[in-house]
Structure 1
Amino acid sequence: MARRLREELDDPGLNPDSPTKLLRALHRQGLPVESTGRGELAAVDHPAVTTLLEYKRLARLWTANGWAWLDEWVAGGRFRPVYIPAGVVTGRWASAGGGALQIPRGLRVAVRADPGWRLVVADVAQLEPRVLCAMAQDTALAEAARGRDLYEGIVADGAVTSREDAKLALLGAMYGATTGESGRLMPRLRRTYPRAMGLVDAAARRGEDGEAVSTLLGRTSSVPDGTWLRTQARATEADAAASEIARARREARDRGRFTRNFVVQGTAAEWALTWLADLRGRLARMPAARVDATRSGPVFSRHSHIAFFLHDEVIVHCPEEQVGEVSAAVRAAADAAGRLLFGDFPVDFPLDARVADSAAKA
C-alpha cells in the first residue's frame, strides 16, 4: 500500500506517516489541501487520495490492533480485555485496556464461534429514545414506537415530515443539540410529546442552575465545581463584563446539555445491565452442550455464555442445538428488564437477533 502511494504521488522516498512530507507530496501533485485529515481528503478526486485513505485505515488498524495488541490482549485464541462495569459517569461500561468497547468493524470477522457452536448477536433498536418514553410515561410516544421503527412512528404522528427529521429532532432533544436544524424541529416535538420533551428540558434547566439530576434507579450526576459556581455568580454582578456574562451562559448551557443526556443515557445503561443480568441467569439454567467450546475455559466450555457486551448489544456463544432457546432467552430478558424498570407502562424494546458463525456475518 505504501509503495503504491509513493508511485501515485511520484515520490519514491515518501514517508506516508509524516503529515508534513505527505502534505508536501500532495501539493506537488497540484492538490489544494490544507491538511491530511480524512474529511478534507475525501473531497479531492485523485487516485492517490483513495490509496492514502485506505493506507490510513489500515495503519490505524495496525497501530491499535496489530501484533503488540495481540501479544498483550489475546491468549488461547480469546480476546481477554479488562472491563469496568459502570465505569462511565452515566453508568455505561468502560474498559481499562485492549479497546474492548471500540473494536473496529474490520475485526468482527475474527469473532468466531467454535465448531458446533454459534453466535447469537442481539441489539436493541433505538434504546435511549424508548427509555425516555418510558421514564416520562409519554403514552403518545409509546404508541408511536409500538411494533415499529420509532422515527417512522413520529412521522406518522405528523410531528415532522421525514424519518431523518424525526431522528435529528429526537436525538437533539436528548443530546442537547437544540439549535440549528434540530432546534427548529424541537417545538413540534414539544407539542406532540410534551411529557418526554418536558423531562429532558427539566433536566437541562436543573443542570443550568447548578443542580444534580438522577437516573431512574438513582444514579446521581456530579455537582459543579467551585470555578463553575464563581463564574455564574460573577455574571450576576452589576459590573460584570459582557465577556463574563457570555462565558457564564456558555458554561451553563454546556452543563444543561450534560444533565439533559445524563438522565436518559444513565437509565438506558440501567436497563441494559438489567437485561444482561437476567440473561445470564437464563443462560446458566440451560443444559450442558453435547460439543465442547474448546477454547472457552472450564466454566463456559459446555454452557451458553455471554461473549461480548456493548451498551445495547450482546453476543452469546452457544451450542448449535440451543440457538432457538438462546434467541428466545435474549428477548425474554429484554421484556423482563422493561417490566422491572417501568412496570406495566406500554413501551417495547424490540431486538434484532441474528445467528451466525462470525460476528461479521451477523
Structure 2
Amino acid sequence: MTSAPTQRPAACVLGTVPGTGFEGQRIGIVELDSAGQEIDRIDLAEADLPDFVRDREDGAGGDPSEPGGARPRWVLSDTAKWCPPLLAARASLERCHDLRLAHAILARSELVTAPEAVRAASEWDAAPADAAAPEQAAALFDVDAGRGFIPQVPHDLEPALAEHARQTAAIETASDPGRLRLLLAAESAGGLVAAEMRAAGVPWDEAEHDRILTELLGPRPIRDGKPQKMLSKAEEVRAALEDPRVNLDSPNRLLASLRNAGINVASTSKWELQTSEHPAIAPLLEYKKMARLLSANGWHWLDEWVDDGRYRPVYVPGGVVTGRWAASGGGALQIPRQLRPALRADEGWRLVSADVAQLEPRALAAMSGDRAMAAAGFGRDLYSGLVDAGVVATRQEAKIAVLGAMYGSTTGEAGALVPRLRQNFPAAMHLVDSAAEAGRQGGVVSTWLGRTSPPPGEGWQRLQRAANRFDATGADEQRARRAAGDQGRFTRNFVVQGTAAEWALAWLADLRLRLARLPEVEETSEAAASGPVFSRRAHLVFFLHDEVIVHAPTEQAEEAAEAIRAAAASAGRLLFGAAPVDFPLDLSIGERAIKD
C-alpha cells in the first residue's frame, strides 16, 4: 500500500511511462497542490495503481473544509481508457478532469480569450463525429452516432501534464472562468458516469427479451433467416401489390413495385407511404417495423450486447456537438419502447426510474429569465400551463408551439402557433430568435455554461460567397438562403438543447455522489454481475438525455428515489440560482423499467 503524502494533493495527473504503452507496466503520477504546483512524482507498476487510487481516495475524509479532507481530482487523458481496469479492481474515483473532453470544449468556447495554445495541440482533438458538417441539421439531432468514433489521444504522462497546463491557463484567463469550471467538472463527471454504467451494466432479462421478440416476430429462425411472422407479413404485402417476387428489403425494387401497383410515392420512407391508402401500405409499414426491431435489437443484438444478465452499451459523453451523449455501440439511446420490460432488477433489488418533464423548455425559461414562461410550468405540466394561461387551446397545440419555437418551424400548425409564444413569452423567444439570427449570419452561439457551437463549414461559406457574386443566379441565392436558414435553426436549438444537456450532467454528477454515500448491503450471487464496485450499493445504470434509471437494493429504493429528486433540485440551483423554474420528475420504483 502506498503511504499517504504529508500534504494532501489537490490533483493527481496520471500517465503511462513513455515506451511502455497503456497496457505497459509503469504508470507515472504527478501530485499537485491547490495552486497547481508539483508536490511529488511517483512511478509505480500498473498493477499497483488501484491500491494507490484507493489509498488517496480512502485516506481523505471527504470534507473539503477539513485539512486533508478533500479527495484529489484525478486528471486523466481519457476517462474511458483509465476507469475500466480501476473499476474491475474495486477502485473508483470521486472526481476527475477528463483532458480529452475538456479540450473539445476549451478549443471552441467563446469564453476562452486565448484559445491558441489549446487549439494548436491538435493531438488532443476529439470533436464529436457529427461535428464535421454542422450546417447539416442532422448533426444536431443525431441521438446515436453508432460510428464508434472515439479518437485516440496521448496517454503518456508528459503530454498529459502539458495539456493540463494549457487548459489551466485557458480557464484562468477566460472571460467567465467560473462557468467554464462548472461545465468542465460536469462534463468530466459525465465521463465517470459513462464508464461506471458500462462496468455495472443494465440488468437485463434475456428470457423476457426472447419472449417479446417471439411474440412480435415469431420464433428465432435458424442462422440468418427471417422469423415466421415477418415472412407471413411479407407475403401479405406481395399479395396486395400483386408482385410475388418483390424484395421488400431492397428500396429500389420495392419502390418500383409500389409504382407498378399505382402507389405514386417518391421513396419508401414511412412518411411517404402513409400518404397512400392502398391495401399494401398497412402490412408494409408493419413489416418495416418488424425489420427495424430484428436488425437493431433482435437475437443477434442480444447475443452481442447482453451477457451474464447485463446489457453493457458504450456511451460517448459529448458525442453530439450540443453536449448530448451518443453511443458508439449497443444503441443505448435507441432502446425501443416494446423492449422496456426486459429491463429487470435483480432479486432483492429495484429499478428506480425518473425522467424530467419538458426539460428543454424549462431550461429556456431559466436561461432567458422569462418569468411568464417559468410560471406557466412551475409545479405542473408546462404544456397544460400554457393552456391554462390562454396561450393555446389544447395541450397538443402547446407542445407543437414550443417545439416549433425551439426548432425553428415556420410552416404548418407550428408556424401558426409560434407567434402566440412570441407575444406571451417575449424574453424566451428573443433568446432563440437572436441565436437563430446569429446562425443565419454565420456566427456562433454558446450555452449557459459556455459550450460554443461549431462555425459553419466551408461548404456553407462557399454557398454564401456564390450568392454574393455579381453574376449570382436566382438558384445561387436560393441555395444560400436555404443554407443560412438551416444554420439558423441549428444555432436556435443549440443554445437550448446544450443548456438542457448541462442541467442533465449536473443532475447526473450530483446523483452519482449521493448514491455513493448510501451504505453497502450484502452482495447476492445475481448482483455480483454488476462488478465489485456496484454489487453492494445503489448505482446508475441508464441515462437518456432527460431520464435516469438507478439499480438499488430494495431497502434503499426510497432513499435512491429521494436522491434523484434532491439531485434534480440541486442541479437547478447550481445552474440557475434562484430562478423561479423547477424541474419536476416522473418517478417510479419497480422490478421492471416500464415507461408509459
| TM-score, normalized by the shorter chain, greater than 0.5 | yes
Matched, 1:139 2:371: yes
Matched, 1:341 2:575: yes
Rounded to whole Å, the distance in 2 between the matches of 1:236 and 1:31 is 45
Assess, with a 3 A threshold, how the Cα gap between structure 1 residues 361 and 178 changes in structure 2: closer, same or farther: closer
Deviation for aligned residue 1:223: 1.1
Confirm or deny: 8 A CA contact 1:6 1:13 kept in the other structure.
no
Confirm or deny: 8 A CA contact 1:33 1:41 kept in the other structure.
no
SS in 1 for 2:350: strand
Bigger shift: residues 167-176 or 128-137? 167-176
Q: 1:185 is matched with which residue?
A: 417
Return the match for 2:352 from 114, 120, 131. Answer: 120
Confirm or deny: 8 A CA contact 1:116 1:291 kept in the other structure.
no
Matched, 1:359 2:593: yes
Bigger shift: residues 13-22 or 64-73? 13-22
SS in 2 for 1:294: helix
Q: 2:72 is matched with which residue?
A: none
Deviation for aligned residue 1:169: 1.4
SS in 1 for 2:332: coil
Assess, with a 3 A threshold, how the Cα gap between structure 1 residues 15 and 254 changes in structure 2: closer, same or farther: closer
Q: 1:315 is matched with which residue?
A: 549
Deviation per residue, 1:264-288 (Å, 9 max, x gap): 0000000001000100000000011
Confirm or deny: 8 A CA contact 1:2 1:16 kept in the other structure.
no
Deviation for aligned residue 1:52: 4.4
Assess, with a 3 A threshold, how the Cα gap between structure 1 residues 150 and 111 changes in structure 2: closer, same or farther: same
Q: 1:208 is matched with which residue?
A: 440
Matched, 1:284 2:516: yes
Rounded to whole Å, the distance in 1 between the matches of 2:584 and 2:545 is 15
Deviation for aligned residue 1:221: 0.5
Bigger shift: residues 280-289 or 162-171? 162-171
Bigger shift: residues 312-321 or 65-74? 65-74
Rounded to whole Å, the distance in 2 between the matches of 1:31 and 1:5 is 20
Tell me the amino acid that sits aligned with residue 231 of structure 1: L
Tell me the amino acid that sits aligned with residue 317 of structure 2: P
Q: 2:500 is matched with which residue?
A: 268
Matched, 1:169 2:396: no
Q: 1:148 is matched with which residue?
A: 380
Confirm or deny: 8 A CA contact 2:444 2:452 kept in the other structure.
yes
**TM-score, length basis structure 1:** 0.90
Bigger shift: residues 232-241 or 278-287? 232-241
Assess, with a 3 A threshold, how the Cα gap between structure 1 residues 24 and 95 changes in structure 2: closer, same or farther: closer
Deviation for aligned residue 1:31: 7.6
**TM-score, length basis structure 2:** 0.56
Deviation for aligned residue 1:167: 1.5
Deviation for aligned residue 1:304: 0.3
Deviation per residue, 1:27-53 (Å, 9 max, x gap): 99x78475655442685474x765544
RMSD (CA atoms): 2.5
- Structure 2: runs of 5+ lacking an equivalent: 1-228
Deviation per residue, 1:277-330 (Å, 9 max, x gap): 100000000011245323211111111000100000001000111111111110
1:218-237 equivalence runs, <5 A: 218-237=450-469
Rounded to whole Å, the distance in 1 between the matches of 2:278 and 2:460 is 47
SS in 1 for 2:410: coil
Q: 1:67 is matched with which residue?
A: 299
Rounded to whole Å, the distance in 2 between the matches of 1:349 and 1:49 is 42
Assess, with a 3 A threshold, how the Cα gap between structure 1 residues 114 and 171 changes in structure 2: closer, same or farther: same
Rounded to whole Å, the distance in 2 between the matches of 1:14 and 1:189 is 49
Matched, 1:78 2:313: no
Tell me the amino acid that sits aligned with residue 90 of structure 1: T
Rounded to whole Å, the distance in 2 between the matches of 1:243 and 1:256 is 20
Q: 2:49 is matched with which residue?
A: none
Deviation per residue, 1:171-228 (Å, 9 max, x gap): 1111111333222222221121110000000101111111110001100001123342
Rounded to whole Å, the distance in 2 between the matches of 1:17 and 1:229 is 39
Assess, with a 3 A threshold, how the Cα gap between structure 1 residues 51 and 244 changes in structure 2: closer, same or farther: closer
Assess, with a 3 A threshold, how the Cα gap between structure 1 residues 189 and 62 changes in structure 2: closer, same or farther: same
Confirm or deny: 8 A CA contact 2:521 2:553 kept in the other structure.
yes
Assess, with a 3 A threshold, how the Cα gap between structure 1 residues 42 and 78 changes in structure 2: closer, same or farther: farther
Confirm or deny: 8 A CA contact 1:14 1:22 kept in the other structure.
yes
Q: 2:127 is matched with which residue?
A: none
SS in 1 for 2:334: coil
SS in 1 for 2:345: coil
Tell me the amino acid that sits aligned with residue 575 of structure 2: L
- How many residue pairs end up in the alignment? 360
Tell me the amino acid that sits aligned with residue 424 of structure 2: T
Deviation for aligned residue 1:60: 1.9
Confirm or deny: 8 A CA contact 1:291 1:319 kept in the other structure.
no
What is the identity percentage for the equivalent residue pairs of Structure 1 and Structure 2?
Answer: 60
Tell me the amino acid that sits aligned with residue 359 of structure 1: A
Matched, 1:295 2:529: yes
Rounded to whole Å, the distance in 1 between the matches of 2:435 and 2:286 is 43
Tell me the amino acid that sits aligned with residue 128 of structure 1: E
1:2-13 equivalence runs, <5 A: 2-5=230-233, 8=236
Tell me the amino acid that sits aligned with residue 426 of structure 2: P
Assess, with a 3 A threshold, how the Cα gap between structure 1 residues 357 and 213 changes in structure 2: closer, same or farther: same
Q: 2:336 is matched with which residue?
A: 104
SS in 1 for 2:541: strand
Tell me the amino acid that sits aligned with residue 483 of structure 2: E
Assess, with a 3 A threshold, how the Cα gap between structure 1 residues 277 and 6 changes in structure 2: closer, same or farther: closer
Q: 1:258 is matched with which residue?
A: 490
Deviation for aligned residue 1:232: 2.2
Confirm or deny: 8 A CA contact 1:31 1:44 kept in the other structure.
no
Tell me the amino acid that sits aligned with residue 344 of structure 2: R
Q: Indicate the structure whose relative CO is greater, using CA pairs within 8 Å and at least 6 residues apart.
A: 1
Radius of gyration: which is bigger? 2
Rounded to whole Å, the distance in 1 between the matches of 2:475 and 2:250 is 40
Confirm or deny: 8 A CA contact 1:6 1:14 kept in the other structure.
no
Q: 1:195 is matched with which residue?
A: 427
Confirm or deny: 8 A CA contact 2:537 2:553 kept in the other structure.
yes
Rounded to whole Å, the distance in 2 between the matches of 1:162 and 1:14 is 44
SS in 2 for 1:277: helix
Assess, with a 3 A threshold, how the Cα gap between structure 1 residues 26 and 81 changes in structure 2: closer, same or farther: same
Rounded to whole Å, the distance in 1 between the matches of 2:467 and 2:253 is 48
Bigger shift: residues 264-273 or 173-182? 173-182
Tell me the amino acid that sits aligned with residue 4 of structure 1: S
